Structure formats: structure tokens, C-alpha cells
Structure 1
């Protein structure tokens, strides 16, 4: 089987081609070039770049990809067997594959008699001729040819001998790999194993591959079953992207094969696996998708612990509730703080934030923090995405947070003067710092943005570091009222200053009030992390400093 040993397998990534067929996903040429470099860096053996001749974007990609320097991965072009009645050299699909000048080609042919007679409308023997002649022509022109036996498992269940004869034809043409496709995604692991056994018996000297879709939710399980039955070439996409329910997810297949079953990819071992989470998130970013938090291995919640009993056990030995070390796939452990938190959660979070030294030996303070967090979460607060607000809660409980300013009042106006014009938003705030008061105003793209501008303009003269701040993201969620809480709206704000980002939260029955709470926490956290311990710098009056803040922000 080529240079593959019993514990070595090939990794074939089709994110750029099959993954690009996901609903609402469309990779640009630049996206595909960036992903090609990332996949090569990860250590995959083959990258399926697209179907040259099918659209201008794939043609442009293969042309641009010639300028990439790859360390290991081979770039393959995808297409079909030639049309009935065509000569190989005159077939536009085969010509397009050759013209793209890839490192190899992948062509699919029909392995299910139903598709041959109904889909292609030709005889079964003619289909075998198309497969053999297409593979032979591409083998002579390109060198490396992989044959995708489309609908192989459905075909094998319908007519085992004919499905195997399609592979005979590909081998006769010189195919380097026989890839068995569960195209409809409905097979079960036992069915995969039975068919793979028959293929391995009939073709012991040709590398067999597996390509599964996830319509039955079993693409990863089916791929692992195929490997256990002798397949050594594994195809899939990162994050399971693909048409309908997606393809087999390599972010689950690879760690299971490498960490659980002891296999190694050609250039992808335990060291390369540590890049998996970062590569997964790059794919989601370029696909303009929100990462799936509960995705195995690479999801943000894959190693997140919330229940107090779990956290207590994990702190003693992570193996109690983690099947692998998160670092093995480039992920991290997260301890969540919520109304389900026990003392262990809080202690771990305090250690993580560098606050535990302030509470050493003060069990009463830790208990106070636990009770305060539970009370706030009962009101509708959520600290899982708001570490900055959590830190401020702790510092307020232990009396370690200066009062940098005090709100006297604010007003927000939103006006739409004409039907064809955008609304205008303006906010005014009255703050007290050092015993003096002043009004400041700000406008913005919406009421929250205006309020943010007004607040920071008022304070920038006193605290110049606030000029570095920006509002990065803003989320609103309606939370259920009841159970003794009046909370109706939760606002999560992400702020940044060029050195890092932090999250804060506010809750109120009024979205503007909730936003203000989150904004105040964001500003307060910035001042606290800047090392501010003073309430107010000596010198100029509040009005002079507020005016300086306004001028600096104009």
C-alpha cells in the first residue's frame, strides 16, 4: 500500500471544494489561498482546490496557487469522468483538469447502477469504459490520479459485484487511490466495514480511501470504522463544512485517529495537531460563520466546566472530566462562573485572573463572592463572556476598587426627522468626579454608541488612557423575567484598547440602562488595569478636564 504502514494514514482536505458548497459559504480566491497555506502548515497531505473549468474563481485560484510555496501538501484538481461519446483528449472536463496544472487530479465516477442508468442514461458497461479511459488519460497527462467512487456504499448494497467492477475499471486505468464515497451520508459503521473488507480483499495493493457525508450524523464514526477496516486515505473538511449536513469533520477525525488510536498522518502528528483549533477558527472566520461552541475538540466549550462538583474534580485531576488534554489540539480549559458555581469555580477563576493572592486565607470573602455572583445571575447577569465584569464584582466585594466617578444622570435622544434619512442619536451625561459636576454630550451611530462617546468624552480629560478605548462589539439578549427577578434585557459589550479586549455585562428592564451599566464597567476595568488607584488627578477643575476630553475626542 504505497509507503503507508499499518499505523500511517493520508489526510485529504476538501474544505476549499466540498466545504465551499455549504449553504451561505463562498470562499474568495484570496480566502482559498490563505486556507491552502494554513492547511499545508497543519500538515495535510492533499488539498482539493476546486473544479477548474466549472467557474472562473476556481480557474483563478489554480493559477494564483502556482505562486505559493508549499512544504508538503499536494494541490489537487477535482472533476468527473468524461462524457459519453467524447474522446478523452477532446473532453472539456478532462482538458480543464490538465490545463490547471495541479499536482494531481481527483475524478468521480458512478458506482451505483441506479445512477448509471437513471442519471447518466447509459449502459453499465459503457460506464466502466468511461472510468477506465478517463483515469488512463489523466494518468498519462498528470501522473497522480485519485478515483472517487461516487455512491459506492449505496451501490455496494444494491449490486456488490457491479460496485466492485467500477473499482476494477479505475485500477485498470492506473488509479493511485480508490476512494469509497458515502455520498448520500446514510450508511452505518457496520455497513462501511463490510464494504471496505470486500474492497481490501479484492485490491490488496491499492490504497483505499474514505469520503463520508454526515446526513445520518455518522460521518466521523463511519470514517473511523473505515480506517479500522484497512482504509489509509481519509477525506473530510475542517469543521464539517459541506453540502446539506456537511462532510466528515477532520477536527474530530484527526485527534481520534492520532491521540486515541495511535495513527499518524504523513506529516501530521501530535505536534502539528496543536495547530488544529487555530486552523479551525480561521476556516470559520473566512467562511463568515460563528464558531460552534460545543464542537468536539476545538469548540470554545469543549473543555469548559460549569458545575461546582466538576470543577472541584478537574482541579484535582483534569482526567476526571476531560478525555484529552485541551492543549493537545491547541484549545484551552475554561472554568465558567454562574449560578451553578461552587467555591471551586470561584477559586479557579480567581487564580486565572491573578486575584487569588488578595484573598489568601480569607474564606469569608470567597463565600461572599460566590453568593454575590449567584445573586447577580439570578437577576439575569451572565459572566461567561464578561470576565471584566466578574473581576470588578470581586474587587468591589473585597473593597479593592476605587470610585473613579459617579453618575448624576444621563439622557439619550433618538430622532428620525425625515422618512428617507437615518435616525440621529445624541446622549448627554452628568458625572461627578472629585466633588464637581459637568455636563457633556456625544453623538453616535445609535443610542448606545452616542452614550459611549458622551461618557468617555467626559472622562478623557481626567483619565487620558480612555482615549485608547473603542467599543468592539455589542450584543443584546432578552432574558426571561420571573423567579423573583425583574431582569428583561442583558447587554454584553466587548471593548478594546489595542493591547487586548475585555467583556462586560449589564442587565435592566431598559436596554439603555443595561448598556450604560456595561459601558461603565468597561471604562472602570480599563482604568483599573491601567493601574489607576486615584479617584481624581489634582490640578485643573472638572469643567476644564471635561473640555479637554471633548477636544481630544473631536
Structure 2
């Protein structure tokens, strides 16, 4: 359980779910809550019971035992009672109790403009709404936090009214008053000034909730902590409405590794990268590869100058050890690469080039020449490893890397067919090759030329290499690049392949998209065979 000295509060399932394109099922919400708990946060806000049917079901299933949290406490979100309605008669407040969540977060208006123009009630009635709802829930045994909506905008309109809301919440028994930058328009300097002033005047623990409309949500959160806030709210990967919320992983990373705040249980910080990726998968969104701390590129180095320094000491170009947050350092091999980049990448791939300086030199020159032609190895580690191993083999006594198969030719035909009353486009591929001392001809149909080629190639090889049965193409990307120096455009194809235990990516480049696809596919199968059955 997280120490109560400092609160890390996750609202991925409520505020984060307001991001365009995210729709969680109840099963998704339960899965995300379990993942967020593994990071060690103190509170997971599950949604708004009574207002959202899925959220009501989520809390019911959680209460029935479907959600076990090792670190976090489950939180229900709702609003203060309606103006002119007795709190015990407010159905939405009653739904908060029915959720059986031990903690409730109430949203309350703290901006005089919103009280008068949106709620259309008096300033005193709004204070009574806060006071009555908090006291009612506390008397029912609930711990209550109050989100003061539009607090920073309201501070500009009337710097005293927001403090009166906080005092009303505190007097009724609320534990935390959260200052919300609801419109996301603040900058760190302003947040620091406001929190410093409010902390001096309000008699309640302060929290911070920021939106990212200025790109400053994380910085604003850390500025608030520096000014005295001891409760931070955010979402996994910064999900949220408009530009999003404060990315909770970046906030935690800053608190722990930069500000020295011990805000997570032991061992939990290293779960951040894994959880970030897993939540993105459930949300059906691509994980931001360049996200601080947890992105796949967060510790990726491309420039040869960086690689040279990292070879001497990794901390020279890393702001922290990537393993602290569950991430890895990566070296990208591009036309900017020097010898150090190739040597470090080889080490990362498990290829020993320490005693082969001539191989390193040839690989550096090959990469630079090929990148000028449109190739790119920074996202195709498998193709680069094959290049490395081929060059090593050429310099050895044997002089060649074992070739598991030799292709004589391939052909693809695409037809428009009518069958059973339904028209369709069907591709047929024929591959001729030699494998295991036998000449094989294989013809297969597919739902496109690349799919047909993939099926024909694997069918031709399965008799010799049965392990191919578990290898499959999982992603296919094509990029058309403008021609250089008056030449025609060239096509770059990236193919991702999996054997259900690991994934690898290969690249092919050619003026013809089919040949580029074939080069990447050939590398994908060859790499899979060489690494599953070395020496074939």
C-alpha cells in the first residue's frame, strides 16, 4: 500500500477514457485497473457510477470480487448534490454509495463564472452543495476528495472564492482539495504561484490535476508539487480529452528520479514501460514510441557521436539508467552511424565483432551506401543482424553464412474472378527453390500478392523446416519515397514476423513494390530459420 504522505492518483478509466477514439468495455476497464495497480499507484478512479451504465457495472463487478488490487484503493467519481435538492434525495449521490467504493472524488465548481453561468445558482448555495455532499458521504464512512473544477481560471476571476470552496470541503471532512487546470491553459510559473498562495490560505491538503492543452501538464504537475501539493492526478500515457492529461508515467518518473520523492512501493517503478505498452494495446492505440521514460525510443541513440560516448560510458547520453523504469537502451544504425554505433548494435544483438575491425568498417560503409538508396535499418534489426552475420561469414575461413534455402525464381499473378456470385481479386504466387537438397515448386493463392508469396514460400519450405508452421507475418508497411537525382521513386517495405514467442522486423527496398516486399519477406523467413535452428 502506498504511503499516505504522498498520493499518486490514476484517472485513466475516467478522465483518460474521454480521449477521442477510446472506448473501453467493462472487461477492458477491469484489465486496465489491474495493470495500473501494478505500477504501485495509491488510487485508481474507476468512473462515474450512476451516470454511466458501464461504470455502474464496473463497480458492481469489482465489488463482487472480480477486481483484486494489491496497491491501489478504488475510487468512484461523481458530483455534488444538485442545487435546491436535499443530498439524501439526490440519486447520483446515492449511486456513489451504492458503488461500495471506499473513496469518492466529488467534482465541485470553484469558479464564480461557472457557478453563476453554468450552475445558475448562488455562490453560497454552491458552497452548501459542497459542504452537504462531503459531510453526507463522510458520515456514511467514505473518504472524500474534492476536485475543484476550473480552479486556476476561477483564481483569476476571484482569488478568494476557490479558497472558500476548499474551506467548505475541509470543514465537512474532505481529505484533499484538488486544484484543477480544467481548460489546460496554465504554465508552470503560474501554477507554482497559485499553489503557493492557496497553500498559505487554505486549511486542507492540496492536490493537482492538469490538462495538456499548452503541452505543460507534466511540468505544471511537478511545479505544483514543488509548491506544496502532495496529491497528483494523471492518466496512463497522458490519455484524455482534447490534448490529454498529465502523463502519469512522466509525472512518476520526474517525482522519483528527479525530485527524490519515494512515491511508489519497492519494485514498482520498473513496471512502468511494460504497463504503458499493455494499456495502449487495450485502448487499441499505438504506443507513443517517443514518450519520455517508457517509449521504445526514449533511450534510442542514432548519432555516431552519441554512440561513441555511450561506448565509453552509457550515462554520458542517458539521463538515467533505462532499466530503472523497465526500459532498454537501443542503438539505431543509420547513415549517421560510425564504428561505435555498429559495435554497440552488434553487442545488443549478441553478435561478436570485437575482433573483426574490417567487418565493422565494411558494415558502416554498406549501411551508408544503402541508406542513400532508400534502405533503413533503424527499425529492421533482423535485416541488420543478417547483414552483420553475412559480413562476418565472408571474413571467416568458411567464407559464407549457411543458406537454409536458395530461390531460383518467383512469379505472382493477380486475377479478377467471379465465383458463387461474388466478385473478388485473387493473387496466385509460384516459388521455385532448393532446400535440403531438394528442388521444390510451390503455388499458393492469397488475398494479395504479398500474402500469396508468403504462403507459397512457407509451403515450399515446410517439408524441410517444419518449425515454419509457427512463423507468421504480423505486420506489413509500405512507404513510397521520392526519387533522387532524377531517378524513379523507390519503395521501402517493412515486414514484422512472429513465432509467438518473439518478433522481428526486416526491410526491403526496390523500385518495384513487389520486389521490395519479396526482399523483406525473404529476410524474414531466413532470419527465422537461422535463429530457430542455427547451422541449417
TM interval, shorter chain, is: over 0.9
Q: Match of 1:220, SS?
A: helix
Does the CA-based 8 Å contact 1:487-1:507 persist in structure 2? no
The equivalent residue for 2:397 is: none
**Alignment counterpart, residue 8 of structure 2, candidates 6, 11, 23:** 11
The equivalent residue for 2:408 is: 408
CA distance in 1 between counterparts of 2:525 and 2:489 reads 23
Aligned match of 1:128: 127
Could you say if the C-alpha distance between residues 485 and 334 of structure 1 is closer, same or farther in structure 2, counting changes exceeding 3 Å?
A: farther
Q: Does the aligned pair in 1 maintain the 2:166–2:177 contact within 8 Å?
A: yes
Q: Does 1:426 align with 2:428?
A: yes
Partner Cα distance (1:345, 1:380) in 2: 19
Separation (CA, whole Å) in 2 of partners of 1:250 and 1:372: 42
Instruction: Please state if 1:497 is matched with 2:505.
Output: no
Q: Sort the Cα spacing of 1:405 and 1:16 in 2 relative to 1 into closer, same or farther, 3 A.
A: same
TM-fit CA distance, 1:43? 1.0
Offset at 1:463? 2.6
Note closer, same or farther for the CA distance 1:163–1:436 as it changes in structure 2 (3 Å cut): closer
Structure 1 residue 96 and structure 2 residue 98: aligned?
A: no
Deviates more, 1:15-24 or 1:520-529: 520-529
Residue equivalent to 2:443: 441
Paired position in structure 1 for 2:305: 309
In structure 2, the partner of 1:73 is 72
Query: Partner residue of 1:389?
Result: 383
Q: Distance in 1 between matches of 2:224 and 2:11?
A: 18
Distance in 1, matches of 2:470 and 2:323, equals 33
Q: Structure 2 residue aligned with 1:378, among 368, 372, 376?
A: 372
Instruction: Indicate the larger mover: 53-62 or 68-77.
Output: 68-77
After TM superposition, give the deviation of residue 511 of structure 1 in Å.
1.4
Tell me: CA distance 1:113–1:499, structure 2 relative to 1, closer, same or farther (3 Å).
Answer: closer
| 8 Å CA contact 2:163, 2:202 repeated in 1 | no
Structure 1 residue 53 and structure 2 residue 47: aligned?
no
Rounded to whole Å, the distance in 2 between the matches of 1:360 and 1:77 is 58
- Map of 1:364 onto structure 2: 358
Name the structure 2 match of 1:547.
Answer: none
The 2-side partners of 1:396 and 1:41 are apart by 43
Q: CA deviation at 1:121?
A: 1.1
Shift of 1:11: 0.3
Q: CA deviation at 1:219?
A: 0.8
Q: Secondary structure at the match of 2:35?
A: helix
How far apart in 2 are the matches of 1:390 and 1:354? 12
Residue 328 (structure 1) aligned to one of 310, 324, 328: 324
Report the RMSD for the aligned CA atoms in angstroms. Answer: 1.9
SS in 1 for 2:251: helix
Q: Residues 184-199 of structure 1 correspond to what in structure 2 (within 5 A)?
A: 184-199=183-198
Q: Which residue of 1 aligns with 2:474?
A: 472
Residue 514 of structure 2: which of 512, 515, 520 is its match? 512
Equivalences, count: 525
Distance 1:452 1:253 in 2: 45
Deviation (angstroms), 1:443 = 1.2
**CA offset at residue 179 of structure 1?**
0.7
In 1, Cα distance between the equivalents of 2:283 and 2:294?
16
1:420 Cα deviation from its structure 2 partner? 4.6
Please identify runs of 4+ aligned residues in structure 1 that moved more than 6 A: none
1:154-233 paired onto structure 2 within 5 Å: 154-204=153-203, 206-233=204-231
Tell me how far apart the structure 1 counterparts of residues 40 and 354 of structure 2 sit (CA, whole Å).
46
1:41 paired to 2:43: no
**Offset of residue 271 of structure 1:** 2.5
- For residues 263-278 of structure 1, the aligned pairs below 5 Å read 263-265=261-263, 268-269=264-265, 271-278=267-274
Aligned residue number for residue 488 of structure 1: 490
Structure 2 portions without partners, runs of 5+: 395-399
Name the residue aligned to 1:539. none
Measure the CA separation in 2 of the matches of 1:412 and 1:72.
56
Q: How far off is 1:164 after superposition?
A: 1.2
Cα deviation, residue 479, structure 1: 2.0
